[in-house]
Amino acid sequence: MIETGRAGRWARAVVCAAAIFLPAARCGRPGAPRPSPAAGPKSMGWVLVDVESFFCGACLDPLLEFCRAVPARVQEDRLRAILVFGAGPSSEDAEIRARIVKTKWQGFSQANGIRFPALADADRVFRGTLKTGAGILIFAEEARTVRWYPLPLSKERLEEVLRILID
């Protein structure tokens, strides 16, 4: 049975993100040595970004503050973005819009020193779940939990997210 309510959308979103993240985290980058079992579990963060917030400076400030607080190495190894956007009714429109959105992200990330890559949510899996301009979905491996942190983050929440990502 397919759930269509808000809980069902969240469940689909988490399953989709986990399907993307977990195989990549277990296998590592192509050609990179596999981490030893002693290295322990690693946490991963997905930054959900509503592309419409690119047109609102005040909406982008919390995202930029978060990115500036995260060390470059952690950005490269432990963060990915999911670009959430609206698209026309056809899948062809969604694919065209996805290319445009990814190009905008490349320029935005280069201009602001953001070091993590992004995926475009062409099938709008996360569209119903993102109510703010951006937020962070953390897969905390050690605790075996998934946590949601809407931006802007308080100082305490930022420290918590950084602790999870860095440890």
The predicted pLDDT at position 158 comes to: 96
Question: What does pTM read for this prediction?
Answer: 0.73
- Give the residue-averaged pLDDT of 13-24: 47
Structural domain for 126, as ranges: 6-27+42-166
Q: Evaluate whether residue 86 is within a structural domain.
A: yes
The predicted pLDDT at position 129 comes to: 72
CA angle 17/2/102 to nearest 5° reads: 35
The predicted pLDDT at position 42 comes to: 84
Q: Evaluate whether residue 104 is within a structural domain.
A: yes
The predicted pLDDT at position 44 comes to: 95
Strand partners, 48: 82, 135
pLDDT digits (tens, 9 = 90+) for 42-97: 899 999 999 888 788 888 899 999 999 999 999 999 999 999 987 666 677 888 88
Q: Evaluate whether residue 34 is within a structural domain.
A: no
Task: Output 127 or 7, whichever has higher pLDDT.
Answer: 127
The predicted pLDDT at position 22 comes to: 44
CATH of the domain at 22: 3.40.30
Q: Evaluate whether residue 91 is within a structural domain.
A: yes
How many domains is the chain partitioned into structurally? 1
d(CA 123, CA 125): 6
d(CA 82, CA 105): 10
Least confident segment among 15-19, 61-65, 154-158: 15-19
Q: Evaluate whether residue 146 is within a structural domain.
A: yes
